[in-house]
Amino acid sequence: MEQRGNFTSKLGVVLAAAGSAVGLGNVWRFPTEVGNNGGAAFILIYLACVLFVGVPVMLSEFVIGRHTHSNTISAYNQLAPGKWWRIQGINGVFVAFVILSYYVVIAGWTLFYLVEAVMGNLKESADYTAYFNDFVSSPVSPLIYAVAFMALTHLVVVRGVQAGIEKCSKVMMPMLLLIIAVLVVCSFSMPGTSEGLRFLLQPDFSKVTPGVVLSAMGQAFFSLSLAMGCLCTYASYFGSDTNLFKTACSVSMIDTMVAVLSGFFIFPAVFSVSGVEANAGPGLVFITLPNVFNMAFQNVPVVGYVFTVLFYLLLLLAALTSSISLLESVTAYVVESLHQPRARASVYVSVLSMLLGVLCVYSFGPLSDVKLFGLTFFDLFDFVSSKILLPLGGILICLFTGWYLDRRLVLDEVTNQERLRFKLFRVYLFLIRYVVPIAIAAIFVNELI
């Protein structure tokens, strides 16, 4: 069997894990949720969720992964041999596989829009709704782009942990952060800046309902890549000197910063164009924004062009670093537990996931009328993974680390065998034992109802 890879630097560790977290969820889903849930009040609640739920769950995943140095399924088998806890290992890898199958569909759309933006085809007079609907419902193009995106992901994963994941993260993440900075600066020169910022920064607590709190928590889970085996797998490549708590804080901070900054360039742009609603829903990225960018920069089309290209490049980079972690999570299992060479394992997983992905691609076209439980395949996969398996996974991870694992083992892991101090250990334990499981259970019940 091949030797296990390792991340070689602290920067590599943070950028790879942040790459997993920063994804379509930040640039697409977060601003949509902010728009739908009343702006700044939602952001404040989201920040609390990241701090009190996100960081403790991420730290728990790091403890499990780094302690065992193995893929997620083996990790639980090793820590709880013969016990039913292993269900969570299987759940983590399974959810990563399912999410990958529909994540590549949206990522494929992003790739298509980037190509179109570069070629200058996202012109001002186009009917963006028809443009989008024609593309996603066509029988060939979205499939080709999804396959192309999956192939890109495979090309990184097949090179392994150091030469593939770490190296790419070190290039793609700084690029991504730079693009965000350029977009924010550019966007601040627009006439809608003050209105956009007011929307983002002035909380209106009358809009806060239990549903808003629960949406914020669901968003934090998805955005931070929690409970899907990805961060646990990445942590298995961390060195013994990696400070797990600091890493969890850095990753959560980068992820949250990218999400908030996305709002900082999207909303000033949206408010600069009259007649466009801030809460434009899922069409925000592919229908509203290309329209907004064109109209906002009508007098300087070159800036509009560059802005649009950079925006879709940003989305593509974000999607790619996340899909790499999804593919790696499953591939690591196939390599280590099914004893396949990495190249073959990555091909198997990519092809199988793409086969499932075909159903998701066609959920917007030929299979849009085929429904199970009233949902298309795309919506069903999304529902089952993010609304059922994910929260369940979150609860299991906390209970496993907080109650099942030996307290000494957890303490040794977060203090690197007592070489570091971790003053918040009791707070962390209290959160994962009581607060987080109860909070997640509340989401779960609410979502199901």
Residues that bind ligand PFF (CB under 6 A): 20-21, 23-26, 96, 99, 222-223, 225, 228, 230, 322, 325-326
Instruction: Kindly state the smallest distance separating residue 314's Cβ from ligand PFF, in Å.
Output: 13
Q: Which CB sits closer to ligand PFF, 230 or 439?
A: 230
The token pair that represents 26 in the structure block: 């930040």
Q: Which CB sits closer to ligand PFF, 228 or 439?
A: 228
Cβ-contact 266, 133 below 8 angstroms: no
Q: What is the DSSP string of 209-265?
A: -HHHHHHHHHHHHHHTTTTSSHHHHHHTT--TT--HHHHHHHHHHHHHHHHHHHHHH
Q: Which CB sits closer to ligand PFF, 187 or 323?
A: 323
Q: Which CB sits closer to ligand PFF, 17 or 278?
A: 17
Give the integer Cα–Cα distance in Å for 329 and 323.
10
Q: Which CB sits closer to ligand PFF, 24 or 248?
A: 24
Give the integer Cα–Cα distance in Å for 257 and 179.
13
Instruction: Kindly state the smallest distance separating residue 176's Cβ from ligand PFF, in Å.
Output: 12
**Amino acid in the structure at residue 101:** S
Instruction: Kindly state the smallest distance separating residue 228's Cβ from ligand PFF, in Å.
Output: 3
Nearest-10 crossing angle of helices 40-49, 210-223: 60
Instruction: Kindly state the smallest distance separating residue 61's Cβ from ligand PFF, in Å.
Output: 10
Cα dist. 207→35, 37, 41, 68, 203 in Å? 12, 7, 8, 44, 9
Give the integer Cα–Cα distance in Å for 90 and 73.
5
**Amino acid in the structure at residue 228:** M
Instruction: Kindly state the smallest distance separating residue 420's Cβ from ligand PFF, in Å.
Output: 27
Q: Which CB sits closer to ligand PFF, 187 or 225?
A: 225
Instruction: Kindly state the smallest distance separating residue 386's Cβ from ligand PFF, in Å.
Output: 8
**Amino acid in the structure at residue 245:** F
**φ/ψ bin of 267: left (φ > 0), alpha (ψ from -120 to 50), beta (otherwise):** alpha
Instruction: Kindly state the smallest distance separating residue 101's Cβ from ligand PFF, in Å.
Output: 12
Q: Which of 297, 292, 269 is nearest to 196 (CA)?
A: 269
Q: Which CB sits closer to ligand PFF, 98 or 335?
A: 98
Q: Which CB sits closer to ligand PFF, 259 or 287?
A: 259
Q: Is 372 helix (H, G, I), strand (E, B) or coil?
A: strand
Instruction: Kindly state the smallest distance separating residue 316's Cβ from ligand PFF, in Å.
Output: 12
DSSP 9: S
